[in-house]
Amino acid sequence: MATSVVAPMVGKVLKIEKKAGERVEEDDVVLVMEAMKMEIPVVAPASGVLKEIKVSPGQAVEAEQILAEIE
Amino acid sequence: MDAALAAGLQGLLLGLTHLEIGQVVMILIGSTLLYLGIAKGFEPLLLVPIGFGAILVNIPLAGLMEEGGVLRFFYETGVLTEIFPILIFVGIGAMTDFQPLLENPKIILLGAAGQFGIFLTLLLALALGFDKLEAVAIGIIGACDGPTAIYVSSKFAPHLLGAVSVAAYSYMSLVPLIQPPIMRLLTTEREKKIVMGVVKQPVSRTTKILFPIVVTVTASLVAPLGTPLIGMVMLGNLMKESGAVERLKRASENEITNIVTLLLGLSIGATMQADKFLKLETLMVLALGLIAISLDTAVGVLFGKLMCLLTGGKINPLIGAAGISAFPMSARVVQAEGQRYNKKNYLLMHAMSANAGGQTGSIIAAAVMLSVLKGMGIV
């Protein structure tokens, strides 16, 4: 079953910590966002294989936007 | 001729021969403030001019705070008249985004709860023998809102201005150290882990424009003496949100705020003359200020627990700590603490709402206090 990693708030993608195809455990940091001049680590909501990363560093994102898919 | 030359040369030593130990201590304190501002990045915009002002005013025979002295001129025209803090408020309004508050209006209650420490500290200061007006100026440190603290103390206890400002700005920088232990102590493991979901409530432009006008009129009717504070913040905010006076908004948040910050900082530093600052009273103000901020944090978190209870566990009490107005520092502290206990917890935007509420709350608390004092016939 696929699980989405969604943006917890409006902000900007700062850096991507994992690659597509990589295995991630629940609570691993998938990417780091910047909001209100603060770095926010965004973690995997579940364990699995990172199927796709839908954003790139520097990209502005809306709250609840899908950032990556885990399968 | 030789005697005249010797006397002339002696004139160059006069400063040194008049230097007293208290002035040396104050020059060291001023240097410490400079160090904190420059090397540690603690509120440099205020601490650098304050620190330098404190050094200048403790140079013997320089007369910067004597009749006709340049710092005395800034102090009398800008601080005693309250003009400097008032102008800063316009800039703050122009820089503040109240959207997080409008997205989540019930959170404003946390901003109100975060002000209780002010009143508790006021009582404590009274118990310690400070007079009523001094106690008000000390209590307001708890708001963790520098300009409000400066405004209130310049109005009621100008002799405490140096101590109150140094306390307010130093503690604002120390929020990441002061708040976490209190937050951890007062919340359970389960409460710390509460996830609050995503804030996604669109706020219309009309609401954003109406907000400063409605707040000004209602808050000023309740607490008329606070109108200069509330009015100026909300004027700045209206200029920002209306988008109609971009030049005025830019001037308020840049040129005006920058010039006034420089002169205000210098003037505050200038109140820190050795004979006025090196007193037990100053240490008590610093200690009470720390107590005020701690109490504000504690009451905010406890109120957060109450809201958690009333909402059936939907509110993470940690966000109560952002009810003080150290913006956006305390909201960041809440985010970091929340994620420490639950990596899937993103409290930043909720904490920002409480923080914006705290900013409004501290100004309203000051306004209420002024009006109550007026009602009691004290001012």
Are the beta carbons of B348 and A36 separated by less than 8 Å? yes
| Structural domain contains residue B345 | yes
CB atoms within 10 A of CB B67: 7
pLDDT at B304: 96
Query: The dihedral of CA B299, B301, B307, B310: what is its sign?
Result: negative
| Residue B199 in this model has a pLDDT that exceeds 80 | no
Q: Is A71 on the interface with B (CB under 8 A)?
A: no
What type of residue is B17? T
- Adjacent-strand bridge partners of A18: none
| Structural domain contains residue B3 | no
Q: What is the ipTM of this complex?
A: 0.93
Burial of residue A64, with CB atoms counted within 10 A of its CB: 0-12 exposed, 13-18 middle, 19 or more buried:
middle
Residue B8 tokens read as: 């002339």
| Residue B101 in this model has a pLDDT that exceeds 90 | no
pLDDT at B1: 64
> Among candidates B97, B71, B95, which has minimal Cα distance to B84?
B71
Residues of A in contact with B339 (CB under 8 A): 40-41
| Residue B175 in this model has a pLDDT that exceeds 70 | yes
Cα(B115)–Cα(B111) distance, rounded to whole angstroms?
7
B104-120 confidence digits (pLDDT tens)? 888 888 988 888 888 88
B329-368 confidence digits (pLDDT tens)? 899 999 999 999 999 999 999 998 898 888 888 888 888 8
Are the beta carbons of A41 and B199 separated by less than 8 Å? no
Q: Chain B neighbours among A 4-63 (CB < 8 Å)? A: 6, 8-9, 27, 35-38, 40-41, 43, 45, 63
CA angle (B150 as vertex; B146, B152 as ends), nearest 5: 120
pLDDT at B4: 85
pLDDT at B360: 85
Using an 8 Å Cβ cutoff, are B340 and B318 in contact?
no
pLDDT at B10: 83
Give Cα separations from B340 to B58, B184, B336, B343 (angstroms): 46, 11, 6, 6
Residues of A in contact with B335 (CB under 8 A): 38, 40
Cα(B33)–Cα(B44) distance, rounded to whole angstroms?
9
| Structural domain contains residue B300 | yes
| Residue B286 in this model has a pLDDT that exceeds 90 | yes
Q: Which residue, chain included where needed, has tokens 């405004």?
A: B151
What mean pLDDT is reported for chain B?
91
Domain count, chain A: 1
B201-232 confidence digits (pLDDT tens)? 778 999 999 999 999 999 899 888 889 988 99
What type of residue is B106? K
Domain count, chain B: 1
Q: Residue A53: which domain range?
A: 3-70
Q: Residue B121: which domain range?
A: 18-58+70-375
Query: The dihedral of CA A56, B95, B297, B302: what is its sign?
Result: negative
Residues of A in contact with B201 (CB under 8 A): none
Residues B123-138, mean pLDDT to the nearest whole number:
93
Using an 8 Å Cβ cutoff, are B178 and B300 in contact?
no
| Structural domain contains residue B339 | yes
| Structural domain contains residue B236 | yes
Q: Is A1 on the interface with B (CB under 8 A)?
A: no
| Structural domain contains residue B176 | yes
Q: Which residue, chain included where needed, has tokens 């059936």?
A: B312
Q: Is B346 on the interface with A (CB under 8 A)?
A: yes
- Looking at CA atoms only, how far is residue A27 from chain B in angstroms? 6
B42: helix, coil or strand?
coil
Using an 8 Å Cβ cutoff, are A20 and A51 in contact?
yes
pLDDT at B143: 80
> Among candidates B37, B58, B265, B27, which has minimal Cα distance to B162?
B265
CA angle (B351 as vertex; B208, B102 as ends), nearest 5: 15
What's the CATH code of the domain at A25? 2.40.50.100
Cα(B199)–Cα(B197) distance, rounded to whole angstroms?
7
What type of residue is B302? L
pLDDT in tens, chain A (71 residues): 789 999 999 899 999 999 999 999 999 999 999 988 789 999 999 999 999 999 999 999 999 999 999 99
A61: helix, coil or strand?
strand
> Among candidates B345, B125, B219, which has minimal Cα distance to A40?
B345
Mean pLDDT lowest for which of A26-35, B96-105, B146-155, B295-304? Answer: B96-105
Residues of B in contact with A64 (CB under 8 A): 198, 200
Residues B136-163, mean pLDDT to the nearest whole number:
90
Are the beta carbons of B344 and A64 separated by less than 8 Å? no
- Looking at CA atoms only, how far is residue A26 from chain B in angstroms? 9
B302-333 confidence digits (pLDDT tens)? 999 999 999 999 999 999 999 987 878 899 99
Cα(B306)–Cα(B301) distance, rounded to whole angstroms?
9
Where would I find the H helices in B311-347? 329-341
Peptide bond into B60 cis (omega under 30): no
CA angle (B131 as vertex; B164, B55 as ends), nearest 5: 30
| Residue B53 in this model has a pLDDT that exceeds 70 | yes
